[in-house]
A and B are shown apart, each in its own frame.
Chain A
Amino acid sequence: MPAIFPRWTNKIPLAIGVVAPLVGAFLIFAVWYWWSPLYTDMGYRPKQPVEYSHALHAGDMGIDCRYCHNTVEVSPHAAVPPTQTCMNCHSQVQTESPRLALVRSSYETGESIPWVRVHLLPDYAFFDHRPHVAAGVGCATCHGRVDNMVVVEQAEPMSMGWCLDCHRNPEPNLRPLDQVTNMNWDGSPEQAAYDATKDLERKRMPSPPVHCSGCHR
C-alpha cells in the first residue's frame, strides 16, 4: 500500500513541539503588552483646539490646579473651566494673541471651546475625585507632572490593576492634605520624612474599597 503521507510529515510533531510553545509565548506577550492600557491608553496626547500649555500656566506661573479645576474638592468631576475663567486674565493679557482667537470668540458667542478629553474612565467604573483629594492623594499621583506638559497627555495606564495597586496599599501615595496640588512633592525631602499614619491633620486613614461594587456600582 502506498504511503498516504510523504516522509517529511514525520517531522510535523517535532515542529509542533518547537513552534507551539513559541506561538503560545508570543500570544501571551501580545495580550499582555498590546492589550494593556499601558500600551493602548498611556501617552494619549490629543491635539487641543487651543494650544494651552499647562507647563506655562501651572509650571512657570505656578497657578494652583484648583484655580481652573475648581470643583475637584466638592464634586466627583474636576471641572474643565469655562471660557470665562480664561478671560479672567486674558481680558488683560495677550488680548491680541492670534493663538487665543478661539477663546475670545467663545467668550463672545458663549459657545464652549471643544476641549478634547484626555482622561476617560469607562462608564462602568464609578470614580469620584472628592474622596481621593480628601485622603491626600496628589493630583500628580494620577495625572503626572502636568506642570511640565506643554500638551497634556495621559501619564498613567488608569487600568483596573493600576487603581487596585493603590487601593490595596494607599499609604505610599498619601501626602499632607495641604500638599495635594503640589507638583514637586514626589521625590522631595518632605515626602521622605512624611508618615501618613502620624499626621495629626488626618482624622483617620483612608480605607479604599477593593470589592467589585466599590467602583462598579
Chain B
Amino acid sequence: MASKERDPLDPVRGRKLLVEGGPSFHDLTEQVCTPVEQPGLAWWLAFLPALGGLSIFGVSLFWLLWRGVGIWGLNNPVDWGWAIVDFVFWVGIGHAGTLISAILFLFRQQWRTAVNRSAEAMTIFAVICALTFPTFHTGRPWVIYWALPLPNQMQMWPNFRSPLLWDVFAVSTYFTVSLLFWYVGLIPDLATMRDRATTKIRRFAYGLFSLGWRGSTRHWQHYEKAYLLLAGLATPLVLSVHTIVSFDFAVSQLPGWHTTIFPPYFVAGAIFSGFAMVLTLLIPIRKWYGLEHIITIKHLENMAKIILLTGSMVGYAYAMEFFIAWYSGNPYESFAFVNRAFGPYAWAYWIMISCNVITPQLVWFKKIRRSPVALFVLSIFVNIGMWFERFVITVTSLSRDFLPSSWDYYSATIWDVGMLVGSFGLFFTLFCLFIRYLPMIALAEIKAVMPAANPHPPGDDH
C-alpha cells in the first residue's frame, strides 16, 4: 500500500495533505508567530551579513552620486551594461510572487497558501532592488520624476513612443498592485499578531496596520472579495510586466534584440528565475524555522516542476532564436548569434546555457526534485544562469552592432560588482526584516485548507 515515498493524504479532499503532522490551528499559530515574537540567533546570522551587503550598496551609491555613472564600466557601444542586466534580473525574480499569489489563486491551487506570503514579499523587495538601477542609471536620480508625465512649466514630456516609458508605467503598476495584494492578505494575520502582542508598541503597530480587523463575517466577506479582485488585477501583470521589459530590447532594431520571440521568452525566463529565488529563500528558512511540515517536500516539488516547465521554455527560446537567425537569412542576425556563442562573450553564453538549459532538466528525476539540498543547489545555478542570460542579451548585441568601427569589449568595474552585491544586501535586509516582523506564512489562508477547516469531516453524516 502506501510506500514511504508517498505523501500523506488529506482525509477530506482525498488529495495530498498540505499541512503535515496534523497540527491544530493553535499549534500552527504558535509555530508561525513565535519566530516573529522571539527571534533566534539564526535571524541575526542572516541579518548581519545582509546589512553588510546593504552597506556595500550604500557606498556604491554614494560614490556613484559623487562621481557619476562614469565609475561603471560603460563604454561607447555598451551604454547599458550591468545596470540594465541587474534591473531585468530583479524584475524577473519578482514574477514568481505574482504568479503564486494571483494565477495560482484563480486556479484554486491550494498549495500556494504555504508559500505565497514570502513569495509576494520577495516580489516587492525584488522590484525595489530593480527600480534602483534605472533610477541611478539616469545619472540624475534627483529628477527621476521627469520620467512621469507631469505637467510642468518646461512643457517637457517623456517620450510616449519609448518602451522605457512603458516600463515606468508597467513596473510602477506592478509594484503598487503587488504591494496592495500583499498587504490585503496580511490584514487578518496582522490582527492575529496584534491580539498576541505583549508590548504596547507592538500592539499599536500591528493594531494600526490591521485596520481594526475583528474577523467578523462582514470583514471576511469584504476581504475575500477584495482579494479576488486584486488577484484578477494582478494576473495580467504577470504577463505584461516582463513583456514590456522585453520591449526595451525588442523595440530597438539591434540584431539579437529585435525579435518577436522576446515577450514570451522573457516571461518564461522571469517565472523560471522567480521560482528559483523562491526555492533559494524558502529551503533554508523552512529548515531553520522548523516549517518543514507547512512548506513540505510536495511544495518544493511543485515549484521544481514549474522550474522544469519554464526552464524548458527558455531552452526552446534559445534554440528558436538560433534557428530564426539562420532561417531568416539575415546576415546581421546570424552574425549576432554566432557571435554570442563563439565570440568574445562565449564564456558568458555557455555559462547561461549550462545553468539554464541543462540544470532544470535534472528535475525530471524524482530523487532530485524531492531533495531540498539538490533543489537549493539547482536554484542557485538557475539564479546565476538567469543573470547571465540578461548579460548575454545586453552586452553581446551592444558590443558588436552594425558598425565594426564602433565595436568595443565591455567589462564591468568594481562599482558594477558593488551595485549587484549591494542590491542583494538590500534584498536580504528587507527579507530579514520581513521574517522578523511579519508572519511569513499566510496563517488565515493556510488554516482554511487544513482538514480541520472542513465543516464535514470524514465520518460526519450531514
* Interface size range on B against A: 10 to 19
User: What 1/0 mask marks residues of chain A from 164 to 180 whose CB sits below 8 Å from any chain B CB?
Assistant: 11000000000000000
| B153 touching A159, Cβ below 8 Å | yes
| A36 touching B153, Cβ below 8 Å | yes
Query: Which of chain A's residues have a CB closer than 8 A to the CB of B207?
Result: 4-5
| B195 touching A161, Cβ below 8 Å | no
**Which residue of B151, B153, B204 is within 8 Å of A160 (Cβ)?**
B153
The answer, yes or no, to whether A43 is at the interface (CB within 8 Å) is: no
| A4 touching B194, Cβ below 8 Å | yes
List B residues 355-389 near A (Cβ within 8 Å).
none
Q: Majority SS of interface residues in chain B?
A: loop
List A residues 1-21 near B (Cβ within 8 Å).
1, 4-5, 10
Docked complex Cα distance between A162 and B151 (Å): 14
The answer, yes or no, to whether A138 is at the interface (CB within 8 Å) is: no
List A residues 31-51 near B (Cβ within 8 Å).
32, 35-38
The answer, yes or no, to whether B203 is at the interface (CB within 8 Å) is: yes
Q: Which of A1, A35, A36, A161 has the most CB of B within 10 A?
A: A161
| A160 touching B155, Cβ below 8 Å | yes
Docked complex Cα distance between A75 and B288 (Å): 75
Query: Which of chain B's residues have a CB closer than 8 A to the CB of A10?
Result: 212
User: What 1/0 mask marks residues of chain B from 145 to 159 whose CB sits below 8 Å from any chain A CB?
Assistant: 000000111111000
**B214: min CB distance to chain A, Å:** 11
User: What 1/0 mask marks residues of chain A from 137 to 168 whose CB sits below 8 Å from any chain B CB?
Assistant: 00000000000000000000101111011000
**A104: min CB distance to chain B, Å:** 43
How many chain A residues have a CB neighbour from B under 8 Å?
16
**A19: min CB distance to chain B, Å:** 18
Query: Which of chain A's residues have a CB closer than 8 A to the CB of B195?
Result: 1
Docked complex Cα distance between A157 and B156 (Å): 16
| B203 touching A4, Cβ below 8 Å | yes
**B222: min CB distance to chain A, Å:** 14
Q: Which of A4, A32, A160, A162 has the most CB of B within 10 A?
A: A4
| A160 touching B194, Cβ below 8 Å | no
Closest B residue to A36 using CB positions: B153
Docked complex Cα distance between A126 and B22 (Å): 75
**B210: min CB distance to chain A, Å:** 10
Given contacts A1-B195, A4-B194, contact A161 B203 (CB under 8 A): no
Query: Which of chain A's residues have a CB closer than 8 A to the CB of B154?
Result: 159-161, 164
Given contacts A1-B195, A4-B194, contact A161 B204 (CB under 8 A): no
List B residues 150-190 near A (Cβ within 8 Å).
151-156
**A102: min CB distance to chain B, Å:** 37
Docked complex Cα distance between A38 and B151 (Å): 15
User: What 1/0 mask marks residues of chain A from 18 to 30 whose CB sits below 8 Å from any chain B CB?
Assistant: 0000000000000
Given contacts A4-B203, A4-B207, contact A161 B153 (CB under 8 A): yes
Can you give 5 contacting A-B residue pairs, CB < 8 Å? Answer: A37-B153, A159-B154, A160-B154, A160-B156, A161-B152
